[in-house]
Every structure is written in C-alpha cells, then in structure tokens.
Amino acid sequence: MEIFVFYCVIYILTFYSFGNSFDSIFVNASRNYVSVYLLFFIFMYYVSNYKENTINILPSVLFFLLSVFAIGRTGILVSRVLVLLTLMWNTRNSTYFKKLINLIIIIIIVIIIVFIQSDFYKVVFSRFFETSNLTLGGRLTIWKEFYEKLFDSILNFLLGPKLDQIPLAVYFDFNLHNSFLNLYSRYGFIIFVIVLMLMVNSLLSMLKRKEILLLIISLIFIMRASTDLLFSYYYGDVLMYFLVLYSLNKTNKYTSNSNLIKGKIYGV
C-alpha cells in the first residue's frame, strides 16, 4: 500500500512537470479529483497501517502540497485539516514532536520560496476565494435544486428525486457534488437513513473505543464526501462500506490485521 500511494504521488508530479494541466489528468473529471483520489489512497493507507501511538504524517503533507498545486479549494481545506489533526495527535509524543520540527521548518521554507519566486500564490488564493458556489454550477445552487425537487412530491421524498429532474445536475454530468445526496437520489429515504445511522454509530464506536486516529481519518473522508461525488457507484464505495460496517465489529480494538479489514465481521 505504501508503494502504491507514493507511486500515485510520483505519477501526478511527473504528469504536471511535463507542462500538463491538472484538469486533463483524468478523463471526464476536473482538477478537484486529484485530491479525491489521493484521499482514497491515503484513507486506505492509514487504515491498513493503523498504529496505536503515531501516524505517518508524510502522506498528509504530500496530500496538502498536491492539493495546493491542483488548486482544488475543498482539497486544500480538507488536506490542511488532516495535516493539523495528525500533527496534533503525534505531538502527544515529545520525542516524535522533536523529530517533526525540522521537517515542518523545511516544508515552510520551501513553500515560502516557491510562493515568493512566482505568481503561483496569486492563482491559488484567487481561486480559493472565488464565490463560484453562488454562480451557475455552484454547489449551493445544485443542492438547492435538489431540495426543491425532494419536497416536490411524496414520491420524490421516499424514493429520492431523479437526477434528470435537476437541470444543474444534468448540466454537470449528473454530479450533485455531494455523495450523501447522490446516495439519497439512488436509493431513497430509507436506505439513506440506514447508511447515515450506521456511519454515525461507527464514529461513536471509534470515539468510545478511543480510536482517535480512525475517527480523524473518517471525519476527513466524510467532509470531502459532502462536497463531491466520492461514493455510491464510485471508487470511494469501499470506504463507505468500511464506515458503515465498522460499528458491527464486536472486537474491543481495531488493528490493521483485524477481521474487519479481511472482510469478516464478528457478531453477524
């Protein structure tokens, strides 16, 4: 898994170094999905390498830097939160904290040098503070149309409004830019509530078992899924299943070798 994660990072950097745009790195997907795919792999990396005391911060840092270069606003926000949370967790160990100081200083210096010597920072911040969420194609506008159709009839409320009834969703290739709304649209109210309840139960189980690292990673995934299509007939479905089924794991502690990861659930 470690090799695969860093292969993906190297691939993206190589692609960009040849003068290609991040908008053309994926077929039928925008630059926003650079951070989405990285989040998939980092989520699986952290879950499969779960340890009790520390968590490797390097994937989080790479996630943040590549999100900045891809200029995906949500990716920048989520990856920054992930870096800060992993730092906060790891600094509980004073020895690890001392080792991190030099790495953090180096990263800050590199970022400052890159920003000072180019106009790249202007592009980043101008895009980050755009008010595109209130224009055609903005997420808030799409969600507003979804809710209008949702309460348009009892049938739409129970079964979920069809995407072809939502003009902006059709315009953007049936992408609601929200995995939870997409889940509602496909499976209706009952399945949506069941999945949501199981996810919340899983998060509460992590908190109860004091598995803070898993809780952090899961919350980051949920944050990102709230602003783009990550699961329900997409690559992130496997991560959704992990969050849905986690609460069914009856063992006291989760480990990277647990039966949950191997596909076996105790107590079912």
Distance (Å, whole) CA 160 – CA 66: 36
Model-level pTM?
Answer: 0.67
Q: Distance from first CA to last CA of the chain, Å, rounded?
A: 28
**What stretches of the chain adopt beta strand conformation (E)?**
none
Distance (Å, whole) CA 180 – CA 171: 19
> What per-residue confidence (pLDDT) applies to 53?
61
Q: 131-171 pLDDT, tens per residue?
A: 344 343 477 888 888 999 999 899 999 999 988 888 877 87
In the chain, which residues have pLDDT < 70? 1-9, 11-13, 15-32, 49-54, 71-73, 91-137, 233-236, 250-268
Distance (Å, whole) CA 235 – CA 126: 30
Residue 147's contacts (CB-CB under 8 Å, 6 or more residues apart) are none
Could you state, in order of their start, the residue ranges of all structural domains in the chain?
2-128, 139-248
